[in-house]
Amino acid sequence: VLSGCGVYDGTEIHEASAILVHLSRGGAEVQMYAPDVPQMHVIDHCKGQPAEAESRNVLVESARIARGKIASLAKLTTADHDAVIFPGGFGAAKNLSTFAVDGKDCKVNREVERVLKDFHKAGKPIGLCCISPVLAAKVLSGAEVTVGHEEEEGGKWPYAGTAGAIKELGGKHCVKEAVFSLTPFYEAHVDTKNKVVTTPAFMCETELHNIFDGIGAMVKNVLKLTGK
C-alpha cells in the first residue's frame, strides 16, 4: 500500500523498491494499491519546502513507483491477498493518516483503517516499516511494533520521539536496530499474536544496505506468517 511518491510527502521510494525486490525474491505475487485522495501537500524535494501552488493525487503519484500497475485502495480485499505491507515515508503520516499534524490524536484514512482491521480479523500478516507502524499502533490496540530506538543518540535516531507517540496511541514499542544482525528476526520485530511485522528502516541514519537488509527481514517474516 503506497502513499505517494517521495519521502517528504509520499512513499519512501528506496523502501518501496526494497520491499518489491524481497517479495520478488520470495516468490510472491504483488498487487499495489493507494488511496485515491489528494495529498496533504506537495514538497519540493530539492528545497525541502512545500510547493504552495501545487496539488497532487496520492494514487496518481503512487503509480510512478508501481510503473502504472496500481489500483485504488478501495478495491483491496483480504479474500484476494495473503498479506499486506506498508512502506514508510512521510506520506504514511500525511496521506494515510494525520499523524504528522495531530500526533497521538491522529485519524487514519478510512480505507487504510478498514484494510488493517480486515487483515487483522482474518489472521493475515501485516508488514510495516519506518514511520508506518504508527498506523498499526493507532488502529490495532495493543499491537507490538518497532520504529527502532527510543533516544536520538546524537542524531542516529532523529525520529526517536515516535516511540513515545506509539505508546500514547495504545501500542507497545519494542527497541530494535536498523542493521542486519544474527538475531532470530534480523532486526524486524514480529508480534506473533497480532501477526504484525515491523522494522525501523529510515528511522535510523545508517547505510542503505542496512535498511535493505532490515526490510528483507520484515518481508521474510511476513511471508513466513502466511504459511505458504
Catalytic residues: 130
Contact 122, 132 (CB under 8 A): no
**Rounded distance, CA 153 to CA 82, Å?**
38
What does residue 86 show for φ and ψ, rounded to 5 degrees?
-115, 115
Residues in the chain: 228
Q: Which residues pair with 50 in a beta bridge?
A: 43
Contact 134, 204 (CB under 8 A): no
What does residue 50 show for φ and ψ, rounded to 5 degrees?
-60, 140
Contact 62, 5 (CB under 8 A): yes
